[in-house]
Structure 1
Amino acid sequence: MSQLVEKTPSPRTRKSIYNDLKELGVKKGMTIIVHTSLSSLGWVNGGAVTVIQALMDAVTEEGTIVMPSQTVEISDPAEWENPPVPEEWWEEIRETMPVYHPDYTPANFMGKVPEVFRTFPGIERSSHPSYSFTAWGKDKKHILADQSLEWSLGEESPLRKLYDQGAHVLLLGAGFDSCTAFHLAEYRVEYQDVITKGAPMIEDGERIWKEYKELEFRDELFEDLGADFVKTHSLSAGNVGSAKSYLFEVKEAVDYAEMWLNLYDRRKSESL
C-alpha cells in the first residue's frame, strides 16, 4: 500500500473535491487562477483529471479557470542553473531548440494538473514562449489575448486582466511561492532588476533567436510575503481533500505584494 493511500482517510473523488471547493468559496461564474499540489490532496480517484473536472463543475462554463503553463526551458542556455550545461553547447542549443507551439509544447515543470489541463477539450493557451497561460471557460479568449513578449507577467499579461476583472487565486495545497499573481507586483515596485532573455521564434516565416527584456523575478521572497499576507488579511482557508488551501482576490494579493516588496527593499537599502 502506498504512503499516499495510507495517509488518506477515504478516496478523494470528483464529488468530494467539488464539495470542498464550494465550502472554500469557489462559486459558479467565478474566474480563478489555480495552483495545485496534487499529492497534497491525498489519494485522488482519477488523479489530475478528477481535480480538473471538479474545478470545472464548481465554476461552470459561466466562469473561467486559468493555470500557468510556463516553459522556462525555452530560454537562453547561458541562464540555466538546474542543471547548467557546458558553455561549448550553448550556441548549438540556441540553433536547434524547438520553437514554442501552444498546441503541443509541454509544461514540463508545472506539475501534473496544469499539464493535463493543457490537453483538455476547450482549453486555449497564450502565445508567450516561456511564460504562457492556459484557460477554459467564458472569458478565456479575452484573458489570454495579446500577452506581450517583453515584461511577460506585467501590465500586458493575463495577470493584469485577472487583476482588473476581480479574479481570485486558488492555492490547492500549493505554497505561496507558486502564487504567480505576486509577479505582477514586481512590475509596480521601485526596485527592478532588468535582464535580457531569449527564445527561438518564427518571424516572417523564418526561425530566429529573439531577445527581449524581462525582470529578474524574486520568487524566493514569495513564501515570506505570503506568510505575512495570511497574517494581515482574512483569506478563505480550508482543506480540499487533505490539502491546506486558500482562496483570495488577485487584486488584494497584488496590492499587498507591491506594498510588502517596497517595504522590504527600503529596509534592505537602509541596512547596507
Structure 2
Amino acid sequence: MEADAVARTTRPGTTSTIAAQVRALGLPAGATVVTHSSLSRLGWVAGGAHAVVLALLEAIGPDGTLVMPTHTRHLTEPSDWGNPPVPESWWATIRAETPAFDPRTSPPGYMGAIVDCFRTFPGVLRSAHPTVSFAALGPRAERVTAGHELDDGLGEGSPLARLYELDAWVLLLGVGHDNNTSLHLAEYRADGPKRYERQGSPVLVDGERRWVTYRELAGDTSLFEPLGKDFAEITGGELTGPVGAGTGRLMRQRRLVDFGVHWLSLRAANAGVGPRGVAEVEG
C-alpha cells in the first residue's frame, strides 16, 4: 500500500501543506469539525497519520474542536455477523468473554490509521457508546462526547446531534459520503417508516462487565452517495479541493443533515415505504 501511495504522489504531503489545503477548502480557525478519512487515499505523507492529525489541529487552532468516529462494530451481537459469520456454537462464548468496551483502551475497528492515531492524543475525550463512540479534542469536546445514549446511538442522544447544535463542519478526506456518519442522524429524523433492531455489546456497569441489549436503526448506507451527490449539486454546499494526493470535501453539518432529512422523507413519501422498504417495527 505504501508503494501505491508513493506512485500516486508527485509531492509528499506534510503537516504544513495539508493544514494549508484544509484551510484553503474553507475550514475556519476555531471550527468544530467531524472528520472522516483514509490515509492511503491522501498519497504519501511525511509522518503518516500523525502528520495528518497535527495538520487538522493546526488548521482549526486552539479554539477549534476536532472530532472523529471511533466505532467498534466488532463489539456487537455475534449472531448478526456476516463478514465473516462465526459458528453458532461460538456465540455464547463471545457474549460471555469479549472484553467490555472501555473508552480509554478499546481500539476502533476498521476506522483507519488517522482515527487510531488521534484517539491516543493527550486530552482526547471519547464518548461511552460501545459500538458508535466518537473522540474529540478541543474546547467543545466534553459537550460533544458527554451523555452518549445507548439506544439510537447515532440519533438525538448522540455526538452527531451535539455537532448539529454547534453548527459544526464535516470534512471528508479521501472518502465519500458512504463514510459520512452525519447522514445517520438524517435517517433518524426523516419521515417515513423505520425498522429498528436489537443490538448487544459488552459494557462496564459500576465497574462490572455486563452484556447489554439496546436498539439501533437499521438504516441504508447505500443511499448516502446519491444523497451526498444531490446535496452538492442542488445546494452548492460542498466545497472540494486537493488534500495531499486525494480530494477533500467540506460542508456544514447542519445544512447537510437538514437536506438529508428532506431528501430521505421525499424518497419515502414517493415510494410509500421507508428507506429499506420495510414496515415500522421494533425488534
TM range (shorter): over 0.9
Q: Secondary structure at the match of 1:92?
A: helix
Aligned-pair CA distance for 1:84 = 0.5
Q: Secondary structure at the match of 1:44?
A: coil
Aligned-pair CA distance for 1:269 = 2.7
Is this contact kept in 1: 2:171–2:248, CA < 8 A?
yes
Uncovered stretches (5+) of structure 2, i.e. residues with no partner: 278-283
Q: Secondary structure at the match of 1:85?
A: coil
Q: Is 1:195 the equivalent of 2:226?
A: no
Aligned to 1:21: 22
- C-alpha distance in 2, partners of 1:202/1:39? 35
TM-score, length basis structure 1: 0.96
Q: Is 1:233 the equivalent of 2:254?
A: no
- C-alpha distance in 2, partners of 1:150/1:250? 22
- 1:247 aligned to 234, 247, 250, which one? 250
Is this contact kept in 1: 2:65–2:138, CA < 8 A?
yes
Cα deviations by residue, 1:185-225 (Å, 9 ceiling, x for unpaired): 11112221111101112224432211111111211211111
Aligned to 1:55: 56
Is this contact kept in 1: 2:18–2:244, CA < 8 A?
yes
Is this contact kept in 2: 1:108–1:115, CA < 8 A?
no
Query: Which of 252-261 and 200-209 deviates more?
Result: 200-209
Aligned to 1:103: 104
Aligned-pair CA distance for 1:163 = 0.5
Uncovered stretches (5+) of structure 1, i.e. residues with no partner: none
Aligned-pair CA distance for 1:241 = 1.3
- 1:207 aligned to 180, 190, 209, which one? 209
Cα deviations by residue, 1:28-71 (Å, 9 ceiling, x for unpaired): 10000001111111110011000000000010120100000000
TM-score, length basis structure 2: 0.92
Aligned pair count reads: 271
- C-alpha distance in 1, partners of 2:176/2:60? 22
Aligned-pair CA distance for 1:266 = 2.4
Change (3 A) 1:6 1:86: same
User: What is the correspondence of 1:33-112 to structure 2 with a 5 Å cutoff?
Assistant: 33-112=34-113
Aligned to 1:30: 31
Aligned-pair CA distance for 1:128 = 0.4
Aligned to 1:258: 261
Is this contact kept in 2: 1:21–1:240, CA < 8 A?
yes
- C-alpha distance in 1, partners of 2:7/2:33? 31
Root-mean-square deviation over aligned CA pairs: 1.4
- C-alpha distance in 1, partners of 2:247/2:196? 35
Aligned to 1:140: 141
Aligned to 2:281: none
- C-alpha distance in 2, partners of 1:114/1:125? 12
Query: Which of 21-30 and 259-268 deviates more?
Result: 259-268
Q: What is the identity, as a one-letter code, of the residue corresponding to 2:153? A: S
